[in-house]
Amino acid sequence: MFRLDGKTALVTGASGGIGAAIARTLHAQGARVVLSGTREAVLAAVASEIAPDGERVHVCPADLSDPKAADALVAAAEVAAGAPLDILVNNAGLTRDGLAIRMKDEDWNRVMEVDLAAPFRLCRAVLKGMLRRRAGRIVSIASIVGVTGNAGQANYAAAKAGMIGMTKSLAQEAGSRGVTVNVVAPGFIQTAMTDVLPEAQREKLLGGIPLGRMGKPEDIAASVAYLASDEAGWITGTTLNVNGGMAMP
Amino acid sequence: MSEIADKVKKIVVEHLGVEESKVTPEASFIDDLGADSLDTVELVMAFEEAFSVEIPEDAAEKIATVKDAIDYIEKQKAA
């Protein structure tokens, strides 16, 4: 079950911990994967780690803060892979945290641009072909804070909540063509970012997670692989909360 | 039939997967050719691409039949 043989997937933000795990898992399930991100050297390293012989792995760097980059990326990915995209994973994102009363417009705008506008443009670009081919999977990586909110992340939480609303709309538009559009909303995932938290803060965080541990990038990747599979063909517009039980919306 | 009409017909046949004989000038995309709202948007985008014209939203809404599409594109091309 959940095999992706013969499918082609584009994963944005594939140089990060979660993105790399998603790419690795989709590849292990048999998909051809195109890795995108801004850091070309890191992408190349991830690609060679996934498949030292380069089989079914391609690298297409892109800076999604450029509004023209999304269309260009989809075109470049299809050329690199030599096949149309069956799966889009919107994983790229960034944070510019700060309490609202001190948040600058540029911090708000940058997060909206990269975390919400760019995924929309990528969806728009892949949907044209998916609708025509009567098949396709879009999985966007949001965040638990898009559902619960989080002090210091008004911009990020708004963008991620926006992603959930966008997904529900696209799911309704594309459903009649067999294209599904879903969200995975991770909770606290063990990454370089959370490794540096003070011990007391980590303890407090863990206390709020019924399953008693931080998430692993692989926990997110497995959910993405499932939603990208043929077997998930009757699930659309949903948000899969993968957070160890920290929030049960 | 004009070159534009031929090309429009071909796009409609290809896109909606209908028989060529059904694509008469009077045929309504939705009522006669089985298109849904997404098909009509896709058709308009296909016309835009094939004829290098821009069809604004308010004009696209008025294109209900094959003839509507041909007339609109011919007018744009003549202008």
The proportion of chain A whose per-residue pLDDT surpasses 70, expressed as a percent, equals 99
Q: Environment class of residue A249 by beta-carbon count within 10 Å: exposed (0-12), middle (13-18) or buried (19+)?
A: exposed
The architecture (CATH level 2) of B1-76 comes to Orthogonal Bundle (1.10)
Q: Domain-by-domain residue ranges, chain B?
A: 1-76
Contacts of A177 in chain B (CB under 8 A): 38
pLDDT at A30: 98
Q: Do the annotations mark residue A125 as ligand-binding?
A: no
The proportion of chain A whose per-residue pLDDT surpasses 90, expressed as a percent, equals 93
Q: How far is CA A62 from the centre of its chain?
A: 15
Mark which residues 168-197 of A lie under 8 Å from B by CB: 173, 176-177
Greatest alpha-carbon pair distance for chain B in Å reads 32
Tell whether the model's pLDDT for residue A191 goes beyond 80.
Answer: no
Stretch A31-45: mean pLDDT, rounded? Answer: 97
Q: Domain-by-domain residue ranges, chain A?
A: 8-238
Check CB contact of B45 with chain A, cutoff 8 Å.
Answer: yes
Stretch B14-29: mean pLDDT, rounded? Answer: 94
- Predicted confidence (pLDDT) per residue in A50-73, tens digit: 999 999 999 999 999 999 999 999
Complex ipTM > 0.85: no
Candidates B6, B31, B32, B36; catalytic one: B36
d(CA A132, CA A86): 12
Check CB contact of A105 with chain B, cutoff 8 Å.
Answer: no
pLDDT at A138: 98
d(CA A82, CA A50): 19
Catalytic (active site) residue A156: yes
The residues near A206 (Cβ < 8 Å, ≥ 6 apart) are A212, A213, A214
| Whether A38 contacts A62, CB under 8 Å | yes
Q: Inter-chain contact B38–A128, Cβ cutoff 8 Å?
A: no
Confidence of residue A193 (pLDDT cuts 50, 70, 90): low
Does domain A8-238 fall into CATH 3.40.50.720?
Answer: yes
pLDDT at A195: 76
Stretch A173-196: mean pLDDT, rounded? Answer: 90
CA distance B45 to chain A (A): 10
Stretch B2-18: mean pLDDT, rounded? Answer: 94
- Please give the helix or strand (H or E) that residue A28 lies within, else none: helix A17-28
Stretch A169-180: mean pLDDT, rounded? Answer: 97
Looking at every residue in chain A, the average pLDDT score rounds to: 95
pLDDT at B79: 76
Q: Environment class of residue B18 by beta-carbon count within 10 Å: exposed (0-12), middle (13-18) or buried (19+)?
A: middle
Tell whether the model's pLDDT for residue A194 goes beyond 90.
Answer: no
pLDDT at A198: 85
Confidence of residue A117 (pLDDT cuts 50, 70, 90): very high
pLDDT at B1: 60
Q: Inter-chain contact B36–A176, Cβ cutoff 8 Å?
A: yes
3-state helix, strand, coil in chain B (%, to 5): 65, 5, 35
Stretch A23-40: mean pLDDT, rounded? Answer: 98
Q: Inter-chain contact B38–A132, Cβ cutoff 8 Å?
A: no
pLDDT at A205: 86
